[in-house]
Structure formats: C-alpha cells, structure tokens
C-alpha cells in the first residue's frame, strides 16, 4: 500500500483538501501501478516549516511503497505532486521536497545482507568444526601412542 505523507506550512482552512487528496491518489496510483483503493494520502497543514531560510509556502513529503519505485517513477511522482501543490496551495515547485522509501528494495537489501552473514557464519563454523576435529584426532592419536607405550590396548 503506497502511502504519501504531505506536510505544508500553508493553512488549509477554506482549501478544498478533497481535490488535493483525490488528485494525489490518482497520480500515485497511476505512476506506481497500484489500484487507487490501495493508496493512502495524509495531508497536514499549518506545520511550522522553513525552507531555504524563509517561511514562505513550502511542503515536504514522504512516499512509502512496497515496490513500484525507481528513479524514473520517482522523478515523475515528484513533478506530479509538486504540480498539485503549486496549483492547489500556491507552493512553488522549487519549495517542495519529496523523499522516497521503497520497503521492497530495503527488504531485498536486508535479505542479501543476511544471506552474506549466514555464509560467513557457515564458513566460520565449518572452519571451527574442522579445527576441533583435527585437534581431537591429534589428541586421540597422542593418547593411543602413550597408552601403547604403557602396554594398554583399547
């Protein structure tokens, strides 16, 4: 489920937020390739915010998705959401920043790291077991030689 969180320092009183939510939902669904029924948009207004050292209209967004994101899609999403905010809230495109999180990519990265870690652990354990086996064999051989010198046979 893609979720777009938008925060702006613009006061939303008297603004048709339904139109913003609807357009943002449509844009996200279309560009990511998910049904609109799966898209969530959160819009917060009157958030204390400074961008470039001024408190003129600005906005910040975070988009979280399980797959569907890549540099080309991210560029298009950024442009589409910026256009909506400029049209509906008079936030200049240059005063909007959108951060992307692809949880599928993060999951795959963690799975790769876990796989590499498990390989390293397996190699360590295999080496340790072989070392223990070699030490045990040497110890048993040493003991057998000592017992044979003493005339003991097992």
Q: Which residues are catalytic?
A: 2
Handedness of CA 97, 102, 107, 110 (dihedral sign): negative
Contact at 8 Å (CB) between 7 and 47? Answer: yes
Residue with tokens 């669904």: 29
Residue 134: exposure state from Cβ atoms within 10 A (0-12, 13-18, ≥19): exposed
Please give the structure tokens belonging to residue 137.
């064999």
Please give the structure tokens belonging to residue 118.
């498990």
Helix (H) or strand (E) holding 66: none
What is the rounded distance in angstroms from the CA atom of residue 122 to the CA atom of residue 18? 55
Helix (H) or strand (E) holding 88: helix 71-89
Please give the structure tokens belonging to residue 77.
């999403």
């Amino acid at each position: 489920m893609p979720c777009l969180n938008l925060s702006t320092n613009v006061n939303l009183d008297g603004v048709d937020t339904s139109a913003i939510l609807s357009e943002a939902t449509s844009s996200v669904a279309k560009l990511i390739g998910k049904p609109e029924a799966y898209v969530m948009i959160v819009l917060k207004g009157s958030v204390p915010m400074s961008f470039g050292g001024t408190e003129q209209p600005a906005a910040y967004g975070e988009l979280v998705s399980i797959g569907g994101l890549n540099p080309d899609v991210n560029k298009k999403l950024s442009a589409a959401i910026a256009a909506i905010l400029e049209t509906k809230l008079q936030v200049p495109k240059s005063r909007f920043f959108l951060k992307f999180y692809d949880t599928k990519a993060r999951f795959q990265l963690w799975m790769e790291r876990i796989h590499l870690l498990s390989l390293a652990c397996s190699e360590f354990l295999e080496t340790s077991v072989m070392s223990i086996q070699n030490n045990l064999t040497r110890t048993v051989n040493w003991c057998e030689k000592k017992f044979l010198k003493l005339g003991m046979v097992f």
